[in-house]
Amino acid sequence: MTILVTGASGHLGRLIVESLLERGTPASEIVAGARDTSKVADLGVRAVRLDYTDPASVGAALKGIDTVMLVSGSEVGQRVAQHRTVIDAAAAAGVTKLVYTSAPKATTSDLVLAPEHKATEELIAASGVPAVILRNNWYTENYVPDAARARETGVVAAGAGDGRVASASRKDFADAAAVVLREDGHIGAVYELGGDVAWTYDDLAAALTELTGRAVQYVRLSREEQVAALREAGLDEGTANFVADLDAGIRNGALADTDGTLSRLIGRPTTPLIDGLRAAT
């Protein structure tokens, strides 16, 4: 078996390669794909240039590969085209397992990020490539900027209302990906992955209080207040509304579900919120 991890220079991709190695996959059976191979040279596995926007690089990277870890791209609005390039190349190469990092309830969610993931899942299904879908909840590391602001201001402000987030650390999600990549029996599965605890922003404020050593308060913002605050902070109108849309999804429960699937896959509890924040800051 030869496993190609796309986006291996990113936070999650790098951790997936490291988790594969930790779990006993020989380095000779892992290929790290990255736009800039110098950024993955330290991983100790073969590195290949792989640029989602360059089909020739993707096709070349997939030669001799039977298992592909498609880490979703980070460029919102361009993901579907980029993912299609990898999926088409995987089909042409006769890949026997494609694992994709999607979003929670991607095919039915109102979350602003869901449509691109839904479209990607549909492309995978249409391709005929045997696949496993990992619908990852939020990464706890997403809240590192909130921790930095809370340390300075004593406030975490958001438009998430009383919504809950079943976040886990990137390491937890990377370990799940490594398990699915290494094991037989997962083909056709769609896993909804989240942390063991779905926390509120009041819980986040409490965790940040412990982390920073100062009292942190959660301030609930209306959409209008949030967009205005983001604009004042320097974000353009489109980005400010995008962030507000994300929080609206959280407020409406898009990230609240957790059923223990992630912890069962990795064979241990997921990383608690405070521990994930502490490790990332």
Element (H, E) at 190: strand 190-193
CB 227 within 8 A of CB 195: no
Superfamily of domain 138-168+194-257+268-281: UDP-galactose 4-epimerase, domain 1 (3.90.25.10)
Q: What is the pLDDT of residue 195?
A: 98
What is the DSSP secondary-structure string of 63-88?
TT-SEEEEPPPS-TTTHHHHHHHHHH
**The CATH classification of domain 3-136, taken from the options 3.40.50.300, 3.20.20.80, 1.10.599.10, 3.40.50.720:** 3.40.50.720
Q: What is the pLDDT of residue 45?
A: 98
User: CA of 199: how far to CAs of 79, 206, 208, in Å?
Assistant: 29, 11, 13
| Structure tokens, 174 | 């990377």
Q: Which residues in the chain land under pLDDT 70? A: none
User: CA of 81: how far to CAs of 3, 51, 55, 73, 78, in Å?
Assistant: 22, 12, 11, 10, 6
39 burial via Cβ count (<10 Å: 0-12, 13-18, 19+): middle
CA distance 213 to 278: 12
Q: What is the pLDDT of residue 240?
A: 94
Domain boundaries, the chain: 3-136, 138-168+194-257+268-281
CB 204 within 8 A of CB 147: no
Q: What is the pLDDT of residue 257?
A: 94
